[in-house]
Structure 1
Amino acid sequence: MDQKLLRVRYLIDRARRLNPTQLIELARQSKRVSRAPLPVIIGDMLWCSVRYEMGFRDYAVWDIRMLNARERATWMTHPKAFRLNKTLNGPDSRVILGDKVRFLTDFADMVGREWIDAATATASELRAFLARHPRIIAKPAAGEGGAGIAIFDTADISDVAAWQTERIAADQTLLEQVLSQHDDLNAIYPDSVNTVRMITYRDPADQLHVIASVLRIGNGAVIDNFASGGMFTMLDDDGVALYPGVDKQSNIFAEHPVTGTTIKGTKVPFYAEVVTMIAEASKRLPSVPYVGWDIAITPEGPALIEANHNSSVFQVKPSVSGIRTGLLYRYRDAIGAEIVDSRR
């Protein structure tokens, strides 16, 4: 689809779904780096949504208020990422990657864990699965953003048939063995599996480009998703955390508030193996070249959690990094400016 048409359609849809309460909340968040009156900030947010194809949360999370026009133009944004997904990935991408059961089947040699579908398993099959694993995670087979996920201690499940009925009713039919993560990541936060999100693009010449790589860290929940209270930090090309952690509310964590572990400088174990695994995995998705991969790090090596056809965008706010430019150039270098920049 034409890039400019996609942009116009997105802006129209955004205007229809405009939430004034959320807009004001994000404007107040932006005042942390600005002395401007709230109406001025709101006006600037609206201007940036049109001029730079920028979401309101993008504006707040990345300290856009404190940047000049040249600096603002260097930031990748969620509307741009939405457009890239629509442009680069085939119409079957949601079906291929949105069905978690299909994904686990297609990448069985990379997921590193046992799973079962509660919707189709017999009571005896489920009972045997629960007996093999002290803790299991239950999730919707087609969920996104960490919604609907719960962890269960299997010793607490006395009536397997009744529990299975409850999981089906709650749309938590995909049951997975809880992975043990590497001690180095356990030291940061042990109550969730802290994962690597790697955003990649495989070009027409079959070359894989790692556009961005981040470490996502849980904070008070059993999952590490940004939308569920977790934090993230960017990784360098060797898998080393470059900055403190940042959460959705723009709170900054030099140390994890639960464990006291320093986040900057943390090295992800088996990072070279992660890159190798994703390079191989990407070859299996010829119609989905633009992907956000989630990878856990076990004591034995990386384990593929899932792949997202509509990956979020990760950059670190200038007030944390001291760097006033974003990562748009990495998308341009990998994908091409004529696709990334709809004005061209």
Structure 2
Amino acid sequence: MLTLRALPVRRDGGNSLTAAYHDGLARHWSPARRLAAHGLSAIGCGGWSPGERLYLSEAVRTQGLSMKDRKGLHRLLNPGAFPLSNNILKNKQLFAKIAVGLPLPDACNPDTMDLDAWLARQDDIIAKPSYRSKGQGVARFVRHGDDWRDGEYTRTTVQLAVSLRALWRRGGVIQQRLPTHKALADLSPGALPTLRIVTCLNEGGAPEICDTALRLSAGGPRPVDNFNAGNLVLAVDGQGHCGPAWRSGGKRAPSRHSRHPLTGAPIKGMILPDHDAACALALRAHDRFRHGFTVIGWDIGLTTQGPVLIEGNWNPGTDIVQLVNGRGVADSRLGALYRHALDRLTDADWRAAQAVQRDRR
């Protein structure tokens, strides 16, 4: 994994968050390291991507945090993320061990369980590779008679078991696919809807909820609800009220929807079921994973069984929360807690941050 920290020669002090981040780097770096970071900025390794410019207004970007800056900042605030092999949020098998006792999907560990017997009790499962994000590599297998179907492909139980064991040996996980909450079934056809809850340790050292965004499937063939896969995302306020949804337009600007584009089900104004329970779960989860992680983006599945913890993200995207909230992160509670955490970094923390950091798993 590659982390680049580009440092603009002329820094705009109007954004208090990026100013705190860039000034902290410049103040602690040697002239040679600053020069390297200025070079990265000159060749376009910093700032806003074309995609972000497409769906975030200039006003949002003025007080915003770009994806390129976000990764370097999160790496400073979440030292537990590296090395990746020990990252309890990125390594899905480690995550499952730490999260025992929290509501999780029913899963199979082929090292300690009979995979064939577990499969015999299932009709719909999800297989996830480790160290991947944004739904990459996630596969859904649905029982079809005596066989299993993955989209257009069919395989026998024996063939499926072989591929699942190989996935497990590479660090992946094998889980039951959870049924969507009945109130959300027409709002997320094709994938379990997840509530992204961003929590950050506050001034008192306690996890605090800073942002929430609901992700819905638009009904495509992939069993994921990620925005960048062409799906929907919307803001949810502190009382669980849903705003209008935004749908990724690829190379076009995102489109705004008050109703689901496929089913016609109303979105704007809906009261999200189990909202309070999902928020409480995110706070419990961050308390469990707090060592080495100041900020975490939680994905909580909204199921017929109640909220279920799907995963935590050490480098949660700020693009979707800036899109649905219509404001930059610097102008938010999350931005204030980012600045507080940056102020608490030691000189050694800042000096350890490199302009270019490459880490093998």
Counterpart among 29, 32, 57 of residue 51 in structure 2: 57
Amino acid at match of 1:336: R
> Are the aligned partners of 1:131 and 1:154 in contact in 2 as well (CA < 8 Å)?
no
SS in 2 for 1:294: strand
Distance 1:10 1:74 in 2: 22
> Are the aligned partners of 1:226 and 1:248 in contact in 2 as well (CA < 8 Å)?
no
SS in 2 for 1:129: helix
SS in 2 for 1:222: coil
SS in 2 for 1:291: strand
Counterpart among 326, 329, 332 of residue 335 in structure 2: 332
Residue 296 in 1 paired to residue 295 in 2? no
Q: Who is 2:227 aligned against? A: 226
Q: Alpha carbons of 1:240 and 1:161: their partners in 2 closer, same or farther (altered >3 Å)?
A: same
Counterpart among 60, 66, 69 of residue 80 in structure 1: 69
Residue 3 in 1 paired to residue 25 in 2? yes
Q: Which moved more, 1:297-306 or 1:7-16?
A: 7-16
> Are the aligned partners of 1:61 and 1:248 in contact in 2 as well (CA < 8 Å)?
no
Q: Which has the higher contact order (CA 8 A, sep 6+)?
A: 2
> Are the aligned partners of 2:213 and 2:236 in contact in 1 as well (CA < 8 Å)?
yes
Q: Who is 1:257 aligned against? A: 261
Aligned-pair distance for 1:91?
Answer: 4.0
Name stretches of at least 5 consecutive residues in structure 2 with no aligned partner: 1-20, 149-154, 344-361
Q: Who is 1:178 aligned against? A: 177
Amino acid at match of 2:63: T
Q: Who is 1:275 aligned against? A: 279
Distance 1:271 1:8 in 2: 48
Greater helix share, structure number: 1
Aligned-pair distance for 1:167?
Answer: 3.7
Percent of aligned positions that are identical: 23
SS in 1 for 2:244: coil
SS in 1 for 2:260: coil
**Number of aligned pairs?**
295
Distance 1:264 1:8 in 2: 48
What is the TM-score of this pair, normalised by structure 2?
Answer: 0.72
Amino acid at match of 1:150: A
Amino acid at match of 2:119: L
Q: Alpha carbons of 1:203 and 1:337: their partners in 2 closer, same or farther (altered >3 Å)?
A: closer
Residue 140 in 1 paired to residue 140 in 2? no
> Are the aligned partners of 1:193 and 1:224 in contact in 2 as well (CA < 8 Å)?
yes
Amino acid at match of 1:107: A
Aligned-pair distance for 1:257?
Answer: 1.7
Distance 1:293 1:222 in 2: 18
Aligned-pair distance for 1:154?
Answer: 3.1
